[in-house]
Amino acid sequence: MSVIPGTPDPFAEDRGGPAQPLLSVSALYKHFPVRKAGGRKQVVRAVDGVDFEVLKGETLGIVGESGCGKSTTAKLLMGLIARDTGQMLYDGQPVGERSMPWRSYRRQVQMVFQDSYASLNPRMTVEQSIAFGPKVNGVPGRQAVERARALLARVGLEPKRFAGRYPHEISGGQRQRVNIARSLALEPRLVLLDEAVSALDKSVEAQVLNLLLDLKQEFGLTYIFISHDLNVVRFISDRVMVMYLGRVAEIGPSDAVLAAPSHPYTRALLASMPSLDPDNRTQKALLAGDPPNPIDPPPGCRFHPRCALAEPVCSDAEPPLGAVAPLHRVACLARQPGSGHSAAPARALAA
């Protein structure tokens, strides 16, 4: 299975079988304390109760506007910042406990960062950066370098030319290929791509996306793909999760979510995409104003101050994630039977 000599088959580590989610996150919370001028302690509710699952072999896209908690979620998943509460099950094992300590979890879950330059050590050659991970995990120096070179070749960078280069000597697209190679150096099963192609220009972005698809198939990877670019997410994702202000607004198969969005926020997001057809330009803004302050989110549904469907009931209770179709769940009272919202479907239909 593997192109890298002397490494085990990634599928050999599977424990729970194909039906068990690779990563299952429930009730994930992260509040950052901030001190306001008055001296009172307040918190930014960056991630405020997020639940989702990542299935084996799929690509889960996470979309949302700036400040909705995408990147905080990524850092929580990687353990770069500690979660306040919540549980993460990796292939059925609770992460951070004895059966799945962070150390062994991280060998199987790696991350590619947005800023290709900041994520490479400017004083290390490309090869050294890639070989660093295997080396600290006990792979002998020469073997680690060999692995680095094999991976460089695999991501389309000829080792002879690129191995000894420093990050500033190669282009942005090449750097991001190096970052991808580094994330694969530990033979992970899950790769978290946090805006990994957002900083690249369009043609390079397309090349890197195709590379990601090839690698996924070849190494049997699962991706979490965070982006604000709906086109890219639609291209690469099997399922999409839409976040708004630290919570999940909608999650489901990407065809369903992006073709027939249920949540008013997803609709606004999709409608805000610029059209290529000049006769079909968006004339007026569908979404007014900025997202509310995550220090003091609105009561009830967080989206109701900006929502076209808002009714008094929306400010009373936070809408739970309810199924509108198999696998497609939406946090909107207007889609949930018996919620008290006038647009809610009748109870019988939803069953």
Partner 1 sequence: MTQPVAASVALDGGVLAADDRAHGQEAAFVPSRGFWGHVGHRLVRDPVAMAAGALILAVVVVAILAPWITPMDPYKGSMLRRLKPVGDATYWLGSDELGRDMISRLMLGSRLSLFIGVTPVLIAFVIGSGIGILAGYVGGWTNTVLMRTIDVFFAFPSVLLAIALSGALGAGIFNAIVSLTCVFVPQIARVAESVTTGIRKRDYIDAAKLSGASALTIMRVQVLGNVIGPIFVYATGLISVSMILASGLSFLGLGVRPPEPEWGLMLNTLRTAIYVNPVVAALPGVCIFVVSISFNLFSDGLRSAMEIRQ
Residues within the interface to partner 1 (CB under 8 A): 78, 80, 103, 106-107, 110-111, 113, 115, 118-125, 129, 132-133, 136-137, 156-158, 160-161, 164-166, 168-169, 179, 182, 185-186, 203, 206-207, 209-211, 231, 234-235
**Of residues 70 and 304, the one with the C-beta less far from partner 1:** 70
Q: Residue 110 CB, nearest distance to partner 1 (Å)? A: 6
Dihedral sign computed on CA atoms, order 198, 201, 206, 210: negative
Closest to partner 1 by CB, 1 vs 259, is 259
Sign of CA dihedral 154, 157, 162, 168: negative
Give the shortest CB-334-to-partner 1 separation in angstroms.
Answer: 28
Please give the single-letter amino acid code of residue 335.
Answer: R
| Beta carbon nearer to partner 1, 109 or 307 | 109
Nearer to partner 1 by Cβ, of 204 and 323: the residue is 204
Q: Any idea of the CA torsion for 117, 120, 122, 125, to the nearest 10 degrees?
A: -120
Residue from 50, 53, 52 nearest 28 by CA: 50
Looking at the Cβ atoms of 98 and 123, the one nearer to partner 1 is 123
Angle at the Cα of 171 from the Cα atoms of 170 and 175, rounded to 5 degrees: 75
**Shortest distance (Å) from residue 210 CB to partner 1:** 5
Kindly tell me which of 211 and 241 has the beta carbon lying closer to partner 1.
211
Kindly state the smallest distance separating residue 44's Cβ from partner 1, in Å: 17
Q: Which runs of consecutive H residues, i.e. helices, occur in the chain?
A: 70-78, 102-108, 126-136, 141-154, 159-162, 172-184, 202-219, 230-236, 254-259, 264-271, 347-350
Give least dist CB 247 to partner 1, A: 25
Enclosing H/E stretch for 296: none
> Least distance from C-beta 264 to partner 1, angstroms?
23
Supply the minimum distance, in Å, between the C-beta of residue 88 and partner 1. 15
- Judged by beta carbon, residue 29 or residue 235, the one nearer partner 1 is 235
Contact 91, 12 (CB under 8 A): no
Which one, of 281, 291, 229, lies nearest residue 69 by Cα?
Answer: 291
34 or 136, CB closer to partner 1?
136
Instruction: Determine the Cα angle at 254 with ends 343 and 181, to 5°.
Output: 150
Rounded least distance, CB 40 to partner 1, Å: 23
Q: How far apart are CA 298 and CA 175, in angstroms?
A: 41
Nearest approach in angstroms of CB 167 to partner 1 is 8
Structure tokens at 318: 């936070």
From residue 180, give the alpha-carbon distance in Å to each of 48, 197, 213, 229.
30, 11, 12, 19
List beta partners, residue 97: 100
41 vs 123, beta carbon nearer partner 1: 123
Task: Locate 108 and state its tokens.
Answer: 């199987």
Q: How far apart, in Å, do the first and last CA atoms of the chain sit?
A: 43
